[in-house]
Structure 1
Amino acid sequence: MSSFTKLFFLFFFVLSLSSLHSLTLPSDVAALQAFKSTVKPATILSYSCLGSWNFTSDPCASPRITHFMCGVNCDTSITPFRVIQITLDPAGYSGTLSPMISKISTLVVLDLSDNNFFGNIPSLLSSLPNLQTLTLRSNSFSGSIPPSIGNLKSLVSLDLSHNSLSGYLPDSIVSLSNLRRIDLSYNKLTGSIPKLPLNLLELAIKANNLSGSLSKLTFDGAGQLEVIELSENSFSGTLQGWFFLLPSLQQVNLANNSLRFIEIWKPANGKSDLVAVDMGFNKIEGNLPVNFASYPVLSSLSLRYNRLRGSIPAELGKSERLKRLFLDGNFLNGSPPKGLFSSKGGVSGSLGDNCLRNCPVSSDLCLKLQKPTSICRQAYGGKPTS
């Protein structure tokens, strides 16, 4: 072998060693190995992302022809390479979430959605200073939400919906100053809602066991909140007038709770972004609040199956933006406003199962029959309904 050939092979060998040193940080690799080891092997199919995780190859090396074909993304602009994203496919993986995942300090996204992970959410996840997206949706995680979650200062999106989480919501969530979206729907959470992060845009805690009244302290300072989805819980008492005056509020769903009374204040200077309100299937008593008509862009309103009585305010019939109105299943009386049956597009929904008179049978709003006169008389103390 000539000196040139020897020199060439020596250079190639040194270059190879240099490349090895520029690959993934060993502690990141060890964390990925620990993560895979807590998943039941029988649930790791050969064609799945985890099935391609073969540690004879480096997780961040490219091209990924046969190994680590999906599930892991890396930052290869730095040496050694660092893992920044774990996003699994919905392949039915079953196992626990290894606390070792907390060793990947550069992790930005952790998404294990639509699988069968179970057990507790490790409190050590709070050791991930760069985590922006935590999605554990549609698994079988149980236990409480760890209070240490408040240490995830970079978190922007938190989705733990469709699991079996129980206990109270930790007060520490207020510390998540960058959080914009939180979805804890379809769990078994109890108690009340603690104070919310100031920059939150969307709050969804549908179908849990939350109870008590909605406190102003919870929403104090949440001036960017646009969407509130709290249906299918056990909230009770009075929903006070400040609620619908939250400055950025657009959509509210409080259906299927046990609210008894609502106060509706007029928006300041007639300005509001409120578009849709659903408070159906509660226990709301009293008259239908006329001030709903003061919300300039309100297009959908549902108060169906409550205990409302009295007439439908004429102002609702004058609203040009209202397109959907569901008031069925109450004890409303009198004649509905003629404006609801305008030929200019009209309003869809239902006014049936009330005590109304002169509801035009030609309108889809009146397809559902009204309550029998005997029930209406009883509801009004035996007096005729006007």
Structure 2
Amino acid sequence: MAVQDLWVLFLVLGLLMFRAQVLQSQNLTCSQNDLKALQDFVRGLKLPIEGWGDTNSSSHDCCNWLGITCNSSSSLGLVNDSVDSGRVTKLELPNRRLNGELLESIGSLDQLRTLNLSHNFLKNSLPFSLFHFPKLEFLDLNSNDFSGSIPPSINLPSIIFLDISSNYLNGSLPTHICQNSSRIQALGLAVNYFSGTLSPGLGSCTTLEHLCLGMNDLTGGISEDIFQLQKLKLLGLQDNKLSGNLSAGISKLRSLERLDISSNGFSGTIPDVFHSLSKFKFFLGHSNDFVGTIPHSLANSPSLNLLNLRNNSLGGIIDLNCSALTNLSSLDLASNNFSGPVPVNLPSCKNLKNINLARNKFTGQIPESFRDFQGLSFLSFSNCSISNLSSALQILQQCKNLTTLVLTLNFHGEALPDNPVLHFENLKVLVMANCKLTGSMPQWLAGSSKLQLVDLSWNRLTGPIPSWFGGFVNLFYLDLSNNSFTGEIPKSLTGLPSLINRSISIEDPFTGFPIFPVKESNDNILTGRIWPEFGNLKKLHVFELSYNRLSGPIPSELSGMTSLETLYLSHNNLSGTIPWSLVNLSFLSKFSVAYNQLHGKIPTGSQFMTFPNSSFEGNHLCGDHGAPPLPKIRSTFLLTLMIMIVLRANSRGEVDPEWVDAGADDKELEEFGSGLVVLLQNKECYKDLSLENLLKKLAIKRLSGDCGQMDREFHAEVEALSRAQHPNLMKKENRESEVFDPFIYDKQNDKELHRVFEIACLCLSEYPKLRPSTEQLVSWLDNIDTNTNT
């Protein structure tokens, strides 16, 4: 029989067996014990489960319910059962918007093999019985709202996979889990609030292959007994507070493939022990305090695929043995102290596609050998004092697969060459910001038809903005700000297809996070009018044309830019009135038309209530852009949330850590990440904002949720609120009675008040992944019982 025929036979047999199992499940009558346990499970939820029928009736067969799988008593070897009933072996309800808590009665499902309730809104503590299932093999509760600590007693003798990541669990890490759970292969405890030291105990998990403890509050060093895990393939300890030297015990993890210790406080040199790890592929050690050079065993590792040691204090000359690094694909050594010339031998690493060497101390120029870099896709030399731009472009155009080129803060004062033979046919991202380049926009750039992102800001370029930019069908980010361009804005820019009806994102090869469009153009000497056709750009997020010489009215058609978050038109010669249609821009959080020749009344309502007086000064405008008071608002909740947002913004004033854009002084875009920028404030600009107006702003906005946009609307609201400051807003201290004025604070709502504080803090977590979604936020707030009529 041919091999193909065998595959067909196996497929048919598999389908028949699956069908038989399904039919068996459907024909079984579930046991009364399991039926009662499932009915109790539903009673712990806020809403019934669709497809489970009337769970108060014992006549319904739970084996036919959605997400339930049953096996017969006989097939499970339960000889003591008098009736061959159906026993529940699987309860699988992920992504079902379940809201409520797990009750202890869940443990009555004593034949359960699989429990998957991930990506729901389940809350409160995990029941003791959950950790005492005798037959449970697969437990997935990740991405819920569970809180509290893990019970000190765990007995899951059959467990193989356990994931309770992305919750709000705290206390000490349950390193004792394998005392009675010796079969476990994957343990996920990441993105929680576990604290304390990484104490011994996990070394007894002899079958463990994946250990994920990242994004907690763990301190100290790595427990030495972890290095006894001979089958460990993945060790994730990123985003904790671990410190000390990295132990040489890593060499004992002979099966290790991925080590992520990034964003901790490890110091000293990296131990030279990786030669014994024949399967080692990924090392993420960025954002620590490592010193010294790259270990010889890493520089000669034939299995290594990704090496990320960005943001450390490594130095010396980069010495990689490319003849040995046959699988190296991504190299990120940015933000270190490497010196000397750019390594000439890098093109010998035949599989190397992504290189980030930004912010080091190289000298000279890009080597001629880079002409041979045929596989190179991503290259960043930002802020490395590289010289000779003309030579660099002639060399790099030979890299036919190059899609991303970042050369910010180099070539100081050189001319941007207009060499007609230059051609980058596959280039998608070009960033040469803050180089003080001279000259005009080169014609050769028009041939890069695949461009999606162009940043030439903070240079000294002159002449008109070419109309051929409008021919880039994929262009979604254009930043030409802070140059000396003249003439009209090309009308062709209003027809960019990717900003009208397409969403395009670019992924950073080192992190996998997408970047989004945030800017158009400003701060040149542009003249003429603002084209009404700009309203067609529905996907544009930021539109900046400040500090130019634009004239004419503000087109009402700009309200068609429905994704707009920032609209800056200040310091021009614009006339007429502010179109009331702009009130419909529900994502708009930053706005200024200051210092023009506008007149008439300032629009009121929606986001316009959040804009300070400084957004309108220098015109002939009138009116109050605040809103009338609303009756019966929840002042306690709203004011509390606002205070936490403001205080967090004051104390940190930060942007999303995954996004790098330091503005005029340090325009570095090589580390692409999330494009959302939140919590920026300017105290001077918002000094006229009253407490009364803050309450009005917080009360009037209702998120529409149209087309799945609630998250972005919420971020727009948070950003607007975060810029509000007032001397009467007190900082939260441990003495709870001093948080508010007496007219707000009272003993009747202590619990509700503290819950709101907790929610506000979670919204502002330093880790983006810990911040709740809008769905979760609405769910939590709906469950706060205030019993007040304020």
Q: Same fold (TM over 0.5)?
A: yes
Shift in alpha-carbon separation, 1:49–1:206, aligned structure 2, 3 A: farther
Q: Which residue is 2:337 aligned to? A: 331
Secondary structure of 1:325's partner?
strand
Partner amino acid, structure 1, of 2:127: P
From 147, 150, 172, the counterpart of 1:145: 150
Partner SS, residue 242 of structure 1: helix
Q: 1:27 pairs with 28, 33, 38, which one?
A: 33
Distance 1:71 1:314 in 2: 52
**Structure 2: where are the runs of 5+ without partners?**
1-27, 75-83, 371-377, 387-790
CA distance 1:318–1:71, shift in 2 (3 Å): closer
Give the whole-Å Cα distance in 1 for the aligned partners of 2:59 and 2:342: 72
**Partner of residue 280, structure 1:** 286
Deviation at 1:191, TM superposition (A): 1.9
Q: Take 1:333 and 1:316, find their aligned partners in 2: how far apart are those partners? A: 19
Shift in alpha-carbon separation, 1:343–1:250, aligned structure 2, 3 A: closer
More deviation, 49-58/31-40:
49-58
Aligned-residue sequence identity (percent) comes to: 31
Map of 1:165-314 to 2, 5 A cutoff? 165-175=169-179, 176-193=181-198, 194-196=200-202, 197-220=205-228, 222-261=229-268, 262-268=270-276, 272-314=278-320
CA distance in 1 between counterparts of 2:365 and 2:216 reads: 38
1:206, distance to aligned residue in structure 2 (A): 1.6
Which of these residues, 148, 161, 164, is aligned with residue 165 of structure 2? 161
Give the 5 Å matches for 1:44-123. Answer: 44=48, 48-50=50-52, 53=55, 55-60=57-62, 64=64, 68=65, 70-76=66-72, 78=74, 79-123=84-128
Deviations 1:258-289 (A, max 9, x none): 11122122524xx6100111101111122222
Code of the residue aligned with 1:277 in structure 2: it is: F
- Secondary structure of 2:176's counterpart equals helix
Secondary structure at the counterpart of residue 171 of structure 1 = coil
Please report the TM-score for the alignment, with normalisation by the length of structure 1: 0.81
User: Any idea what SS the aligned residue of 1:24 has?
Assistant: coil
Q: Secondary structure at the match of 1:27?
A: helix
Asked if 1 retains the 8 angstrom alpha-carbon contact of 2:165 and 2:188, the reply is yes
Secondary structure (helix, strand or coil) at the match of 1:148 reads coil
How far, CA to CA, are the matches of 1:343 and 1:309 in structure 2? 21
Task: Tell me by how many angstroms 1:295 deviates.
Answer: 2.3
Deviation at 1:108, TM superposition (A): 0.7
- Which shows bigger deviation, 152-161 or 255-264? 255-264
SS of the equivalent of 1:210 reads strand
Instruction: Call closer, same or farther: CA 1:316–1:302 in 2, change over 3 Å.
Output: farther
Amino acid at match of 2:195: T
For 2:165 and 2:147, locate their aligned partners in 1 and report how far apart those are by CA, in whole Å. Answer: 11
Distance in 1, Cα, partners of 2:236 & 2:307: 15
CA deviations on 1:43-71 (whole Å, 9 max, x unpaired) are x36xx34567563543345xx4xxx2x12
Deviation at 1:75, TM superposition (A): 0.8
- Cα displacement (A) at 1:351: 1.2
**Displacement, 1:171?**
3.3
Distance 2:171 2:138 in 1: 23
Matched letter for residue 354 of structure 1: N
- Does the C-alpha gap of structure 1 residues 344 and 50 become closer, same or farther in structure 2, counting only changes over 3 Å? same
State the Cα distance separating 1:296 from its structure 2 match.
2.1
Bigger mean CA deviation after superposition, 121-130 or 325-334: 121-130
Distance in 2 (alpha carbons) for counterparts of 1:257 and 1:140: 25
CA 1:310/1:367 → structure 2, altered by over 3 Å: closer, same or farther?
closer
| Alpha carbons 1:113, 1:136 under 8 Å: kept | yes
Q: 2:384 pairs with 343, 348, 370, which one?
A: 370
Contact 2:230 2:252 in 1 (8 A): no
Partners of 1:171 and 1:344 in 2: how far apart? Answer: 42
Distance 1:89 1:343, change over 3 A: closer
Q: CA 1:198/1:371 → structure 2, altered by over 3 Å: closer, same or farther?
A: farther
Counterpart contact for 1:299–1:323, Cα < 8 Å: yes
Between the aligned partners of 1:326 and 1:300, the Cα distance in structure 2 is 8
Amino acid paired to 1:208: N
CA deviation map 1:193-212 (0-9, x unaligned): 34321100101112111111
Structure 1 position 217, deviation (Å):
1.8
Residue 308 to residue 50, structure 1, CA distance change in 2 (3 Å): farther
- Pick closer, same or farther for the CA change 1:36–1:249 going to 2, 3 Å: same
What amino acid is the match of 1:59? D
Unpaired runs of 5+ in structure 1?
1-21, 373-386
Structure-2 separation of matches of 1:89 and 1:252:
29
Query: How far apart, CA to CA, are the structure 1 residues paired with 2:271 and 2:349?
Result: 32
Between structure 1 and structure 2, the one with the greater Rg is 2
3-state SS of paired residue (2:39): helix
Task: Tell me how many residue pairs correspond in the alignment.
Answer: 337
The one-letter code sitting in structure 1 at the alignment partner of 2:57 is F
> Which position in structure 2 is the counterpart of 1:125?
130
Counterparts of 2:225 and 2:352 in 1: how far apart (Å)? Answer: 40
User: Matches of 1:219 and 1:124 in 2, distance apart?
Assistant: 31
Contact kept in structure 1, 2:359 and 2:381, CA below 8 Å: no
Q: Is the 8 A contact 1:178 1:199 kept in 2?
A: yes
1:167 and 1:264 map into 2 onto residues whose CA distance is 35
Which has the higher relative contact order, 1 or 2, with Cα contacts under 8 A spaced 6 or more apart? 1
